[in-house]
Chain A
Amino acid sequence: MMDAVENDADRKRDYVLRTVEERGVRLIRLWFTDVLGRHKSVAISPAELETVFDGGLQFDGSAIDGFSRVQESDVLAVPDPSTFELLPWAAEDEPSGTMFCDITRLDGSPFPGDPRQVLRRNIDLAREAGFEMFCAPEVEFFYFADANGGVPRPLDGASYFDLTTADVSSDLRKRTLHMLEALSIPVEYSFHEDSPSQHEIDLQYTDALSMADAVMTLRLTVKKIAMDQGIYATFMPKPLNGVQGSGMHTHLSLFRDGTNAFHDPESDDGLSAVGHGFIAGLLHHAREITAVTNQLVNSYKRINEGYEAPRFISWARNNRSALIRVPIIKPGKTQSTRIEYRVLDPACNPYLAYAVILAAGLKGIVEGYGLPDEAVENLHELGPDDLASLGVQPLPSNLAEALDEMEESELVRSTLGDHIFEWFLRNKRAEWDDYQRQVTPFELEHYLPTW
């Protein structure tokens, strides 16, 4: 068995080395992610590739947010050959390839600051319990004319039927989809969203690790294709006042032995005990994991405004104000049984977000949490008394509150590991404190003329 595993790894490396040679690849970009979910890239030449496969690429981790430690700052980037892709936007005379990396310590053990390893570890725990998680996110974003001076200028929406700008964004979307398919990221749908200049790309389900990689690649691809046209794409959760922000609703399901573990034909709502437990776990721990799924000061501006973003911790089959929605499944499509977690936004670190979601859901299954009643009313329209009598809790209303909840959470600590847990809290507290000291346009507009 060990031999077979090693053999398999050798073949994957061979495949990459041979492809690099056959296709005349000039540059290989090694990709990884910092704790905040920002895309990092180091380029190596084909001549270095074999050495890097054998021993990893050594670099000083203290330059990367969330990697640094006083005693040990050097780490290794170890490329994952199964993620090798030729970059579809590389110039024809300079083919480039890319691979995602796992980050290890110099002795080869997983580096605790690497988000990809955090997700791997949690996927392995789920596997021990017999489950594989599948994810399918709906990623929203805006196209703006530029990001100059921090003022977002929508491409469309300024005037109706403005053909020129409509053409620009539909052409951008088409090009982006084409690139994503070439990067092995199948797109289910893509369309213009409600807000001016807002777009949505829905990805086809895949396993959680591949999907976290795919979200990283998608963000880079959307930005890159836009930038080529002199346009700025942003995944900032709430860039415009008064219109809905960008979310990353994610459809989730667990599979066991090749069949959908959320499905039970005998139950009233089509969901199994596993499905109920997963929902109960997510609801129970929702407040604790929100700092991870919604990590910016700005994230809470989207949540508080409502629209398609949930504000209350509830579940429902057909109620888009709920945190967790259980989509109605077409007859015979039982393998599609899934839940939709609606609070995530596209500025999250997808590795960490999927790790805490998986851990919270699993805990609900393993510990047999009871499932609260389904929310049938539109929760956005209820007052505080009604909500209290229904026993419905709100999500944290700002980053500070979310961090308080996270800090008390054993679940989040054990899921992320001490290193990332503590660094994340420190970094995000500093971000909040910084924000608290800012004089905002709101204050100037409201107070300056009066006082």
Chain B
Amino acid sequence: MGALTLARVALICATLGLFLAPWHGLQDGLSELAAWPVGTAAPLVALLLDGSRWWLWPVALLLALAAPALLRGRAGGGLAWIGGLLVLAVLGAGYAIGLNGLQWGWLAPLLGAPPPQPSLGWGAFLVLAGGIGLFAAGQAARGRFGADAFVAFLVCGCGFLLILFVFLPLVNMLSAALYEDGRLAPAAFGARLVAPEAWSLACVTSHAGCGVVWNTLLLASLTAVISTLLGLAFALLAVRGGARGPVSAGAFRAMTILPLITPPFVVSLALIVLFGRTGIVTGLLWDWFDIPRSRWIYGLPGVLLAQVLAQAPIAFLLLDGALRAISPSLEEAASTMGARRMRVFRTVTWPLLKPALAASFLLAFVESLADFGNPLVLGGDFDVLSTRIFFAIAGARHDPGRAAALALLLLAITFGAFALQALWLGKRRYTTVTGKGDSGIPAPLPKGLKFTCAAVAWPWMIFTAAVYGIILVGGFVHDIGRGDLSFTWRHLGTGFEVGWFDGAPAFIGSAWDSLFTTIQVAAISAPLTAGLGILLAWLIARQNFPGRRGLEFMTMLSFAIPGTVVGVSYIMAFNVPPVELTGTALILVICFVFRNLPVGVRGGIAALAQIDKSLDEASATMGGGAFATLRRVVLPLLRPAIVTALAYSFVTAMTAVSAVIFLVSARHNLATVYIVGRVEAGEMALAIAYSTVLIVIMLGMVLGIEKLVGRARLGRGSAPTIPSGA
């Protein structure tokens, strides 16, 4: 796409925003449109003409400045200035003048005492998009971004969104660590960062607990190592398990998808039912072997168990994909040269798995850092950073400064993990899918390794089955916590009763509202997340442009922040103009998109790392622009990654809790927040029943997505279909 086309589209878009769309947000919904073109639905041009927004004249002037050259068919580098100033003018004016008039006191000599300005609406959104387009076109015209306007626009647009929805809210929130009682206090900041509650090592020498940082690190490392190893065992069995490989692959897939689609808390609840002091297993052990009942599940062991149950399947999915993508030709080459199976595995397969192993470790580590539900239910006295932050904000002692300092520590740990990953992978190359023809049959596993994997994987499967059995049963018996196992529909009825009024079905059950909202929000955010994530991955992995590292950093940032911090930072940042989103379903969608983005991005990058760049180059040599290459070469090859991103973001949008617990509103409540409420009230049965419903829905969705978009597989012979008669 040329710079001129982009600039023209951008100009049209901005002009529409100027003349047609209402400039400010519609507080009461679309009914306000009746007043157009005056009143609350007035477009900017009307507001400028009646003088009530005179400080926005620069917006109109800048557009007028850009128009003549574009109409004559010339797109120059000057457009970058115009576009940049346009964005600054709109946002600057929005932040400077808020609901209470002038916000930035130092502008008083220039602006005087302007009237209050409500939030920005569709008109402003179009002008902003146009401004970004003009900026990108200008940059492309100057030869930046490989002089490709499409890439330039993607980078600028993504960068803008990331700054607005990831970076600014976070900075806003974290700056609270610097303040005490509304004043800047660097000393308090220092004290908070090195507080003994975070760093104490008392548990080594005495009975007192250790600092939360140590607890968090210990838990996250254990979770990451154990889940990655489990995932690897499952993946090896599934892909390389020989004749019974496909069978176990099917079983694992069915089994491993369950923890993935389970709402938080539920696994913890099931673990309590099994291993609590009055749990089923505990009772059996007591009756049969006189093993005394204890409360070991409350604390590190319980949380670890719950987290591994959740993370091992994700590790499996990642490693499974990576194993399948490894071209067998390298392994065949090794065996041809006489290497034994174990040696092939050790020197060829294992090194090629490194990126996926690192990704899986990192994912489990970071997920464990951010996990909030399981430590909340099973933590006992074992406190981790995410729960500590939550209670620093929402607990009886409200202390945002302390919460911000703890959040900073959590961020530091996360980035440390990323740095370690980069160090381990080094600068080696891991491409195995090249443009050259490659076919072959993957080498089977060495025997010893296969037995080890089976010995680990199958017991874990049984354990998982037991946990999910409890969940399935729990929703349909009177009180599983007390062992009352008589069958009942009561809990399901409370949540999902459907009545019949005036010939139409009426959803009376208390859970319907939240269920509908959850499905809507998840259905909207999942494709957005997958699309944006894959685009970003492609930009980061395949394009070279200034600020690439910065863009990558910002996409990963939102993943590293604990959900609670995201929730509170969003509510602080988007409750007041210019960007006013709280109380809408949009804020939930945005929150999910930017929180789940890193998974799409990382998955995309990992997949791209295995697709040789020569394919891109071939497309470019034959005259394909960046857009054509992306659409016709990269995207088809990335289908597995896209499916994973879609399924993952849909599922996390349905199961996330910590970030959205602050963002749900009366009209838009979410299933998980509702379930948390049930757990809080001690209504485990209703919580479990609702979770069962969610699990069924998500299972259907994930299978549906797979069916619709196609099985995530790269074309390559997987099993010997031709009898090897020769």
Do the two chains bind? no
